[in-house]
Amino acid sequence: MTEKILTARFEKPDSYRLSSYVEDGGYEALKKALSKTPDEIIDIVKAAGLRGRGGAGFPAGVKWSFVPKESEKPKYLCVNGDEGEPGTFKDRYIMELDPHAIIEGAAIASYAFGAHVAYIYIRGEFKLPIERVENALAEARQAGFLGANILDSGYDLDIWVHPGAGAYVCGEETALIESNEGHRGMPRIKPPFPAIVGLFGGPTVVNNIETLSYVPHIINKGPEWFAAMGPEKNGGTKLFGVSGHVKRPGLYELRMGTPLRKIIYEVCGGMRGDKELKAVIPGGSSTPILTPGEIDVNMDYDSLAKIGTMFGSGAIIVIEEGTCIPRLAARLAKFYAHESCGQCTPCREGVPWIAKILDRVENGMGLPGDLDQVLKICDNIQGKTICPLGDACAMPIRAMIVKFRAEFERHVEEGGCPFGPTPTPWDSES
Amino acid sequence: MAKVTLTIDGKTVQAEEGSTVLEAASAADIDIPTLCYAKDLEPYGGCRMCIVKVEGIRGMPPSCTTRVAEGMKVTTEDDEILQARRMVLRLLMADHPSDCLSCPANLECELQALTKKLGVREHGLIHLDRQATLDESHPVFIRDMKRCILCAKCVRTCNEVVGAGAIGLINRGHRAEPAPFLGTGIKFSNCESCGECVEHCPTGALYYREPGPEPDYEVSTICPYCGTGCGLVLGVNKGKVIRAKGDPDNPINQGHLCVKGRFGSYEFVNHPDRLKTPLVRKDGELVEASWDEALDLVVQRFKESKGDKFAALASAKEPNEDNYIMQKFARAVMKTNSVDHCARLCHASTVAGLAASFGSGAMTNSIEDMEQAEVVLVTGSNTTENHPIIGNRLRHAIDKGTKLILFDPRDIPLAGKAVIWCRQRPGTDVAWINGLMHVIIEEGLADLDYVRERCEGFEAVEELVKSYTPERVSKITGVPAQDLVEAAKLYASGKPATIIYSMGITQHTTGTDNVKSLANLAMLCGNMGKPGGGVNPLRGQNNVQGACDVGGLPNVYSGYQKVTDPAARKKFEEAWHTDLPAEAGLTITEILEAAEKGEVKALYIMGENPMLSDPDVTHVEKALKATEFLVVQDIFLTETARLADVVLPAVTFAERDGTFTNTERRVQRLHQVIPPLSGCRKDWEIICDIATRMGYPMSYESESEIQDEIAELTPSYGGITYDRLDRGDQLAWPCPTKDHPGTPILHTKKFTRGKGKFFAIEYISADELPDKDFPMVLTTGRILEHFHTGTMTRKSKSLHALVPGPYVEIHPADARHYKIRDGEKVRVSSRRGSIELIAKVGRVDRGLIFIPFHFFEAAANVLTNPAVDPVAKIPEYKVCAARLEKSA
Amino acid sequence: MSNPASRENGVDGPITINGETVRAIDEIVKRYPVAEAALLPVLHKVQDQLGWLPVSALDWVAKRLGLPKTRVYGVTSFYTMFKRQKPGKHRIEICTNISCSLLGAEHLRDHIAKKLNIKPGETTEDGRITFDEVECLGSCGTAPVMLVDDKFYEKLTPEKVDDVLDKLNKDDLEAGGND
């Protein structure tokens, strides 16, 4: 069940150094890849069924194949390390503990679709990850894994770190591209898609850190090996970040398709203080919430989509009985209001409005029509904005209200929150 | 362009490939509501008002950003779409003051109109209490951000269309707002006050301090300021011109205006100080007189002063027809060729230089053409301030990839956009241009095939520029040698590259040399006669090109037909039924000299103000006072008119028909907007009246009839008629026949003179250089907010509020040296005089001072050097030695 | 008339960007086909040196990269990490987003606020500590978390928070104290 691919080297001392990486067979995949044609690489990754681990789940190989072969403008790879989705903390670990895996994956991807410059966009707050990746890049350059004529193949590639500066929306690929160009992180209208017109106007692929880190392994061990590890079209393992009210929160590498119940009750040791489960957010804060009756689901893209939620970034937030859902909803809405870029009216105006109403509901000042009003606004945000940030607020809020409506109504009727202050771990453990 | 067929609301529609669903719907008369859409801006897709449904596309994409596709099925309205649009409006309203009745945009507000249209009466939401800025710093408009709906049109206009970049979006999400640098006080930003943002604002977030009443009617005409020739739409309320908008159908400005066009173009028209009755000097005082009384006096005195005793000044501000009539009057009635105008003072060296090099002394390419250039070399032109709409188009081209090389000693706004910016010492232009040619030839970058095939005289230039090494040129000009090399390589790399210049090149004792040198450079790289290439002098006044074209010059009739050419003279003698003088007349500076000596006894000035515009005005004043009989015909009592013996009140551009020829030789039509103010007459009518009273009957039904006479006698204007112009034909001369489409690009197959001629020119220093007594170099010029002698702009309330008075720009280091602080009063002196004005620290290079010449109370031309270019007789306004000191 | 903005934005004396920063910036600019793209990392470098971004720093960056000042300002105000107010010597940022909130982050926030006697977003009167409440820091598996001078402190309890604050005090005292 636990299959260590990406996390295999995490425990090693100096795992982030080139010497350690090479000792474990690092950059062999790059050597191998450079001896193949770019199209062969794309076919291998397609066959592996590697899907984007950032949240959208788009097959990586297919994404690469969208990039035109001939292009007047240079092509670019942007590596998305702007990990900001609440609940998510996987890419940070890879950057800190195995940065060369990212670099090797990025190099193979760049070779596959013909980029000669790549940028690793890292959240500005991640000082240590930035330092580790920058050092790793310097090591790789020094060793000839990057730069001109890599490993005598005639292929040139430079990779640079581009630090973000505190904007969740930059995790969206076109906002990331804008930010990489030195602009405000305002998402672009699509089409044209980045694969055609992206960074500096050139064809561009944006791939998540985790996605690219799988690539060297796929090249080394073959696509069949990878595909076999998960259900159909959901190959490989996944880094699941579990947080909230479980006994052992943390980062777990598990096969795609591992049942959610198993993750909560076996992998993470069950609920803290053996309390009852109240709800689970399965894939980061923007994915619709699940009730205890819905946790017999396999954790993969398609299974979660079937029950009306999303796989997202694999960030599982576990919530125990006694937690106030309206309070969570209000907190989430406040987050999205803070992060809206301000371009589209429904998101810019609607999300702060939802936040304000939910805050008033939580604080006992809610009015009878408030919940329907919020649902109506959610409906008029979803699918009506340039980027998915509006959806990322509307979908989970809608699910919380629909699935826990009685609780919200009780707040309005009773003119206050029936739960009292949030319990604290230090109190319950003492 | 290919067409695609799609269905919109069940209707089959054809649309151009690449167009948007919104455009396709609009063409099919299907109305889709919008807020952030503007025809002249890139699609933004932010307001989400224009969302539609497209079969096969998830969600509701905005129609303004969705491109049409073959077979597309679009629904522009159903219950869901309406609900989403209503929600957008409700959310905007929840954040918007509900004080429509007291809002400056009441009844013109697009938000208000849409709420009414979509039936949203109440938003039913709570207010979000957005923190919003109220910016009242600007004298002309107010920014009240609580009414802002974040459509970003203002920001997009300022960046995409104007290119000033004075405002941008700040903060994010709900706290986002359009703002100048640091968020407060647009007045303190690099705002160019053009008002485009206000024009684009759909609500009352941006509004003029003094919004005029709604116009009763509107008329399109041409702006009376610089040579760009923007189309204006003037609005009239109760007989007065009350507002100006850009004419969207004019291909030059495409609906946009600069600050002068927006405010200055009409605010002077109905000014109370307008002259409304003739004035005659009696006992030393100018007193009101009847037209008959005034004209009788004029006729009597003119009759006594025929021949060389008479001179006339035509006007670069007046339409072609009036200038034509004025020169005809001087030649046919007064029997003298001494007619000149202020083109002498701005581009005489262009006319002389380019005529010698190419055979035609005008801009070789069109304004539009500039956007096709890969490289633009701008020198001696503060384009964004003096030809703002051309400047905007240039900035737009730069944003799209055109590379700019700038040679200018001042830190003008374009400097920030330049790939290479060289600050040459004023008066060293021949040296750096020779230097660039040296590098281009050395590096093998010259287009020698072109030179061989199309030009002559190259060998001498090749030989001469050998000694202009970057090191030597660097010593002369102060430009680092490396920059010269890079500038040369960059210019040579442009295929094509264009040269844009203005008075920084022409107003020198070496003006003609400077112009010929630029011509050399352009020919050397094979840039002539091609779209996106050329040598392009930007003409300073609305009709300076036309005034020259129709013969407002002492040596030529209309169309540059020489007065000394017997055949040309015969042609005009036959047409005008009289004999004509055979010798060239005096130039403007010579006229004044002759007047001072008493040789010219009667002087007739139409719409010019030499008391401010000519160099060494103390001397000009002497000359005008010495003139026995001075007639000034103008719209205001100008500094010159005050010295006149008779003042005749004329009409403004808004009160008449006519044609202006803009800087790119395009002839454009003026339309009468209001009838002439009571008591005022059109210039040509006054002149014809005088001529008739003098026994030479001149009478025309209309301006159109005058134009027909011009066309008949002027080959290059031969095909230009009012009928064609009114049809919308865009005619740049030469346009010899009625079926000729005009000539936007000159010298395409061969040069007008046959072969392009290279001139080998050595560098000569300016006439007056700084010394111990006068250690600074003074240069003069125009600023964005004012024009020429301020006759019109200083009567504009808005422009006056923006820049109320004279100032001198000083380098910070010089300011420290002279212990002068920004805003302090200083005295500037030259060998010719001395003025007091306010110090403004910044923009100029060290050792240089700059004074705008618009202000009578501290006239820069008290100081300037009257030394002239030996060929073109243009004075050296751009360099003289001066002294700077703190006022006592 | 001077620009009121310069007054509103606090103390804005002339700044000196040191050679090390300038060299680092020149290196960074080379990584991009256009200088503008280097704006974020360049602003970081300048802020690393100055501790914040005063008006004069924005001017300096605009000039250095050849950008309109409004663009630099627009970018600076979009990203939360760029500080337009002078912060305290130390910065404490506590996450109160969902995973941290579930484990009592608001209690810790109030605890720190009480202890420092300031509200989130403020700086202590002695200018020593700026305290703020921030969005998800990507450390949810070890919630609740805070950043102190860019260093992560995880699985927080009131006691742990007290230890961190005490250590800050102690370090400052040892370093000379009168900051």
Comparing CA positions, the residue from B607, B608, B611 lying closest to residue B624 is: B611
CB contact under 8 A, B87 and A353: no
Neighbour-count burial of B249, counting CB atoms closer than 10 A to its CB (0-12 exposed, 13-18 middle, 19+ buried): exposed
**pLDDT given for residue C176 in this prediction:** 64
Tokens of A398: 């809608």
| Region C101-113 average pLDDT | 95
**pLDDT given for residue C13 in this prediction:** 58
Task: Tell me whether the CATH fold assigned to C4-78 matches the one assigned to C90-174.
Answer: no
Q: What are the strands, taking DSSP E only, across C19-144?
A: 90-95, 129-134
Which residues on C lie below 8 Å from B179 (Cβ)? Answer: 70, 73
Which residues on A lie below 8 Å from C33 (Cβ)? Answer: 74, 200
Q: How far apart are CA A303 and CA A20, in angstroms?
A: 38
DSSP B719: T
CB-CB contact of B866 with B767 (8 Å):
no
Tokens of A140: 């790789």
Calculate the dihedral angle through the C-alpha atoms of B401, B407, B410, B412, rounding to the nearest 10 degrees: -20
CB contact under 8 A, B128 and A345: no
User: Where does the pLDDT of residue A428 fall: very low under 50, low under 70, confident under 90, or very high at 90 and above?
Assistant: low
Q: What is the H or E stretch that residue B237 is in?
A: strand B231-237
Comparing CA positions, the residue from A286, A343, A247 lying closest to residue A87 is: A286
Phi then psi dihedrals of residue A289, to 5 deg: -75, 150
List beta partners, residue B825: B838
Task: Tell me whether the CATH fold assigned to A18-227 matches the one assigned to A325-414.
Answer: no
Whether the ω angle into residue A192 lies within 30 degrees of 0, i.e. cis, is yes
Which residues on A lie below 8 Å from C78 (Cβ)? Answer: 167, 184-185, 341
CB contact under 8 A, B170 and C66: no
CB-CB contact of A49 with A229 (8 Å):
no
| Region A79-84 average pLDDT | 96
Query: Does any CB of chain B come closer than 8 Å to the CB of residue C77?
Result: yes
Q: What average pLDDT does chain A have?
A: 94
Please state which of the four CATH numbers 3.40.718.10, 3.30.530.20, 3.10.20.600, 3.40.630.30 is assigned to the domain occupying A237-320: 3.10.20.600
Tokens of B198: 């206000």
Q: How far apart are CA C6 and CA B659, in angstroms?
A: 49
CB contact under 8 A, A163 and C44: yes
CATH topology for the A18-227 domain: Rossmann fold (3.40.50)
> Helix H segments across A98-206?
99-113, 127-142, 173-180
**pLDDT given for residue A55 in this prediction:** 82
Place of tokens 């990779």: A159
Residues of chain B with pLDDT under 70: 1, 128-129, 183-184
Q: Domain segments of chain C: what residues?
A: 4-78, 90-174
CATH of domain A325-414: 1.20.1440.230
Give pLDDT tens digits for A302-346.
999 999 999 999 999 999 999 999 999 999 999 999 999 999 999
3-state secondary structure B69-107: CCCCEEECCCHHHHHHHHHHHHHHHHCCCCCHHHCCCCC
CB contact under 8 A, B185 and C5: yes
Comparing CA positions, the residue from A189, A194, A197 lying closest to residue B61 is: A189
Is beta strand B825-830 parallel, antiparallel or unpaired with respect to B833-841? antiparallel
Q: What share of chain C is helix, strand, coil (3-state, %, to 5)?
A: 50, 10, 40
CB-CB contact of B243 with B269 (8 Å):
no
Domain C90-174 classification at class level: alpha beta
Query: Does any CB of chain C come closer than 8 Å to the CB of residue B838?
Result: no
Tokens of B379: 């020198």
Which residues on C lie below 8 Å from A284 (Cβ)? Answer: none
Tokens of A130: 């930035």
List beta partners, residue C132: C93
CB-CB contact of B569 with B580 (8 Å):
yes
DSSP B413: G
Q: How far apart are CA B226 and CA B539, in angstroms?
A: 7
Q: Name the minimum distance, in Å, from the CA of A97 to any CA of chain C.
A: 15
Which residues on A lie below 8 Å from C141 (Cβ)? Answer: 89, 241-243, 249-251
Query: What pTM does this model have?
Result: 0.90
Half-sphere exposure of A89 (CA within 13 A, CB side): 25
Q: Looking at chain C, which subunits does it touch, using at least 3 CB pairs closer than 8 Å as the criterion?
A: A, B
CB contact under 8 A, B185 and C8: no
Enumerate domains of chain B plus CATH numbers. 3-77 (3.10.20.740), 110-208 (3.30.70.20), 217-267 (2.20.25.90), 279-343+543-732 (3.40.50.740), 348-537 (3.40.228.10), 776-886 (2.40.40.20)
The helix-helix angle for B291-303 and B683-693 (nearest 10°) equals 60
Query: Does any CB of chain B come closer than 8 Å to the CB of residue C85?
Result: no
Whether the ω angle into residue C144 lies within 30 degrees of 0, i.e. cis, is yes
**pLDDT given for residue C179 in this prediction:** 43
Q: Name the minimum distance, in Å, from the CA of A222 to any CA of chain C.
A: 32
Whether the ω angle into residue A191 lies within 30 degrees of 0, i.e. cis, is yes
> Helix H segments across B749-876?
797-802, 812-817
Half-sphere exposure of B120 (CA within 13 A, CB side): 22
Which residues on B lie below 8 Å from C55 (Cβ)? Answer: 182
**pLDDT given for residue B227 in this prediction:** 92
Q: Domain segments of chain A: what residues?
A: 18-227, 237-320, 325-414
CATH topology for the C4-78 domain: Arc Repressor Mutant, subunit A (1.10.10)
How far are the Cα atoms of B221, B255, B668 from residue B728, in angstroms, in the given order?
13, 16, 9
| Region A39-55 average pLDDT | 94
List beta partners, residue B754: B751
Comparing CA positions, the residue from B791, B806, B796, B798 lying closest to residue B857 is: B806
Give pLDDT tens digits for A204-239.
999 999 999 999 999 999 999 999 998 888 889 999
CB contact under 8 A, C3 and B165: no
Q: How far apart are CA B60 and CA B52, in angstroms?
A: 5
Close Cβ partners of B727 (under 8 Å, ≥ 6 residues apart): none
